[in-house]
Copies of this chain bind each other. A is one copy, B any other.
Amino acid sequence: MADKITTENLQDFATGATVLGTGGGGDPYVGTLMAEQAIEEYGPVDLIDPRDVPDDALVVPSAMLGAPTVMVEKMPRGTESLDAFRSLERALGQEAYATMSIEAGGLNSTVPIAVAAQLDLPLVDADGMGRAFPEVQMVTLTLGDISASPMSIADEKGNSVFLETVDNQWAEQFARTTSIEMGGSCMIATYPHTGSELRDHAILDSMSLAREIGETIRTASTRSLDPVSELLALTDGFDLFTGKVADVQRRTEGGFAVGEATIEGVGACDGRTLTLEFQNEHLVARDSEEGVVASIPDLITVLDTETAEPITTEGLSYGQRVRVIGMPCSEKWRTDAGLDLVGPAYFDYDIDYTPIETIHR
């Protein structure tokens, strides 16, 4: 069952992936432009069902790595993602059957679309997180013992760095410092895996979910429906807060966009404050009255009150009227191994993870 990604439906994929990107995953504007240009030049991209990928076929995810704050200003040249992709194929001595998003996010769901169009490859309807996370090792593929190596990294100047690491945490370390040296962002090809590994360890059907989310947001107003309610129904999500952005503290640190946003409640939330702490992605949402209302690995997303368009962490600014929603993560993340990799403790929070549906039961 193949579907097409075209210049007509591209925006829905980008919007929906940005919602799943939970504040990170890169700016959808840059990624959409890149993918649009590639589709215009090379034609639509086949979105293929992960169940149709042959067992031993090679899937090579393609992504941008770095601080989203940098990515907004440092435009890619357009060929570096191909450089990274081809260099990995050469090293493996095998051509890729398809490419894939390593995470759901405005940029990192659209970069692989551009790569797929340029290389005439299909894109697998899946990703490695079901959301976005800041670090390389934070993929469900790691839980399946799939190596981030060999990993290929390229910049817009023509530099390339190739990694073979003993584990995925080391891949993160080397890739992160390389991204910093490359000016804060770079293009990567990583986590080469087979069709059967894909089915066992990736998050399936997340691209179609992204499109559905995007369609919902786009069409809700024309159908006189509340897009946020529609969105929550689609994602089993929770309405966490409604308010106005009162303060955003943001810095680029260790190659990440790190910070905190304070939202003052309005309407039903009047008198309360929601604090969002982020490292590229939102990590924890704390309500001044109710305490932690959502935390990693569950998804926290900020939407524009009027349009329900998602706002990334680097797009947050004073005065924005927003709604904050939370969505349950994949069950893969809720295992002991999953929580070790991406739970609150990894990010130095002294809180126990409670599934969002338990908090809001």
Given contacts A161-B162, A166-B158, contact A180 B177 (CB under 8 A): yes
**A166 with B157: CB separation less than 8 A:** yes
Q: For A159, what are the chain B residues with a Cβ–Cβ distance below 8 Å?
A: 163-166, 170, 174
For A177, the closest partner residue in chain B by CB is B177
Q: For A174, what are the chain B residues with a Cβ–Cβ distance below 8 Å?
A: 159, 161, 178, 181
A160: Cβ under 8 A from any B Cβ:
yes
For A83, the closest partner residue in chain B by CB is B164
A160: contacting residue among B157, B163, B181, CB under 8 A: B163
Q: For A166, what are the chain B residues with a Cβ–Cβ distance below 8 Å?
A: 157-159
**B181 with A157: CB separation less than 8 A:** no
Size bracket, chain A contacts: 10 to 19
Given contacts A177-B181, A181-B173, A181-B174, contact A161 B160 (CB under 8 A): no
Please measure, in the bound complex, the distance between the C-alpha atom of A178 and the C-alpha atom of B180, giving whole angstroms. 12
Of the A-B pairs whose beta carbons lie under 8 Å apart in the complex, a sample of 12, sorted by A's number, is A157-B170, A159-B164, A159-B165, A159-B166, A160-B164, A161-B161, A161-B164, A162-B162, A173-B181, A174-B178, A177-B178, A178-B178
Q: For A158, what are the chain B residues with a Cβ–Cβ distance below 8 Å?
A: 166
Please measure, in the bound complex, the distance between the C-alpha atom of A180 and the C-alpha atom of B173, giving whole angstroms. 11
> In A163-214, which residues have CB < 8 Å from any B CB?
163-166, 170, 173-174, 177-178, 180-181
Among A157, A161, A165, A173, residue most surrounded by chain B Cβ atoms (within 10 Å):
A161
